[in-house]
Amino acid sequence: MQQGHPRRKQLSRARHEMYLHRRYMFAKKINEGMHSFVDGVREVMKGVVNAIFNTSETKPEIKDVYSEMHNPKGLMQIVPPKFNK
């Protein structure tokens, strides 16, 4: 004598496989979203660092420090204080 529907086992297995598939796809989309977020943050940080390095001019500052070391301007000038007003 037949117990239940003949396709019950097949349908149950199909429902379980769909459950696993949906769970896998949800985790995959979350993972892809996190990867794209991290990649976006990395690109933003790279842009900020490049902008900082491109706007800062370090060579003229080094030349100014070098010229000040070998040609002191303010060290030789001694200005006495003024007492009368």
pLDDT digits 0-9 by tens, 17-34: 999 999 999 999 999 999
In percent, the amount of the chain with pLDDT more than 70 equals: 62
Cα dist from 17 to 26, 30, 67, whole Å: 14, 20, 76
| Torsion over CA: 26, 27, 30, 33 (sign) | negative
Query: Using CA atoms, how far apart are residues 40 and 15, in angstroms rounded to an integer?
Result: 37
Residue 48 falls inside a structural domain: yes
What's this model's pTM, rounded to 2 decimal places? Answer: 0.48
First to last CA, the chain: 123
Residue 78 falls inside a structural domain: no
- Domain span holding position 17: 8-70
Residue 5 neighbours by CB under 8 Å, 6+ apart: 11
Q: How many domains does the chain have?
A: 1
Residue 81 falls inside a structural domain: no
Residue 40 falls inside a structural domain: yes
Residue 1 falls inside a structural domain: no
Residue 13 falls inside a structural domain: yes
80 vs 74: which has the higher pLDDT: 80
What is the residue whose two structure tokens read 């943050």? 41
